[in-house]
Structure 1
Amino acid sequence: MMKYVFVLCLLVVGAFGGWLGLNVVHWWQTDMFHTQRVMPGEAAYRMPPGSVPRNGGQLYYSPAERDAAAMRRNPVPATPQSVERGGELFAIYCTPCHGTSGKGDGPVSTKFVPPADLTNPELHKVRTDGYWESYLSVGGAVMPSYGEALTPEERWSVVNYVRTLAKK
């Protein structure tokens, strides 16, 4: 008899729950389809008043775009000032992986895939200034992008500095 009373109570609770329009959440429901929305039809995050959004640069170059970028010429002459500025930026952004000498022996390189040895003269024979600048802009296989962190002039100055590493 108790079994029938228990089943009847479950049916009554289930029927009234559905009749009242209540959402019954069960442990196996993980789709979150029936959850309450804070602002239905609106973005969850609004830009604060007076803020200025950053316009993102290009995040990826297709192979054709990478080839076209490799053909660009360096508009920043390799003056001592440009090379010095490039060295300062290299020390900030590049030494964690490439090391202070550019040999790819930075502290990060011991934990991940070692980066290129930028002192290798053979590497500089096959890579153009445009190639280096595009690699700085959008990154590569394991190298992050610095297109948002460095201005185009700063990237070309880093290229000028990297070119001096092969001569040391």
Structure 2
Amino acid sequence: MRRLSSSRSAATVVLVLLAGCSDQSMTVQPKYTTYRPSSLWRDGASARPLPDHTVARGDLLRDEAAATPPPVDAALLARGRERFDIYCSPCHGLGGHGDGMAVQRGFPPPPNFDSPRLRAAPARHFFDVVTHGYGVMYSYAARVEPQDRWAIVAYIRALQASAATPLAEAPEAREELP
């Protein structure tokens, strides 16, 4: 009985070892990669073209949000400050003067938002720069939603307005200063 049991055990071990020798890798399976010829379709392509008028899910809402700036209120400015601090301040600095930490580490300085050229620029200019990038600044379209881009633009305008406001016209700010 013991001999039969040990023979079965030995046979099981051999079968397990032999099963491990076969290549069952997922990389050795027949598959079609994009733009490779295939015999599956009549046109010989492996990828199918998108139907006419196809729109990616969410793109229509995203385009609508990008087309129209929202009304400016305290909540939008708060959101804009939060997003500005996260995405813009490393280069532009907290005050928008182009003196952020990246600039202090040797990155080329971005323009000061208080410059006459940027004060005269329309709000859409800032939105487009955040969306598409400009100069050495890369696009934030994939990182920042359109509503948040508009919030950043509103906050940039608030920074510009606060830089041009004399302290005498903002007595509540006097209490904030040391």
| TM-score grouping bracket, smaller chain normalisation | 0.5 to 0.7
Q: Does the CA-based 8 Å contact 1:138-1:146 persist in structure 2?
A: yes
User: CA offsets, 1:74-116, max 9 Å, x none?
Assistant: 5211211111110000000011100111100011113122101
Q: Does the CA-based 8 Å contact 1:104-1:115 persist in structure 2?
A: yes
What pairs up with 1:19-58 in 2 under 5 angstroms?
42-43=32-33
Q: Does the CA-based 8 Å contact 1:129-1:159 persist in structure 2?
A: yes
Which protein has the bigger helix share?
Answer: 2
Q: Does the CA-based 8 Å contact 1:83-1:160 persist in structure 2?
A: yes
The one-letter code matched in structure 2 to 1:114 is: P
Gaps of 5+ in 1: 1-37, 45-53, 58-71
Q: TM-score, normalised by structure 1?
A: 0.55
What pairs up with 1:15-164 in 2 under 5 angstroms?
42-43=32-33, 74-110=68-104, 111-125=106-120, 127-164=121-158
Distance in 1, matches of 2:122 and 2:93, equals: 22
- Equivalenced residue count is 107
Gaps of 5+ in 2: 1-27, 35-55, 60-65, 164-178
Q: Does the CA-based 8 Å contact 1:74-1:130 persist in structure 2?
A: no
Moved over 3 A (4+): 38-44
User: CA offsets, 1:21-44, max 9 Å, x none?
Assistant: xxxxxxxxxxxxxxxxx7798439
The one-letter code matched in structure 2 to 1:117 is: N
CA RMSD of the aligned region, Å? 2.7
1:16: which partner in 2? none
SS in 1 for 2:147: helix
SS in 2 for 1:112: coil
Kindly indicate whether structure 1 or structure 2 has the higher relative contact order, using CA contacts under 8 Å at least 6 residues apart: 1
The one-letter code matched in structure 2 to 1:97 is: C
Distance in 1, matches of 2:102 and 2:29, equals: 43
SS in 1 for 2:86: helix
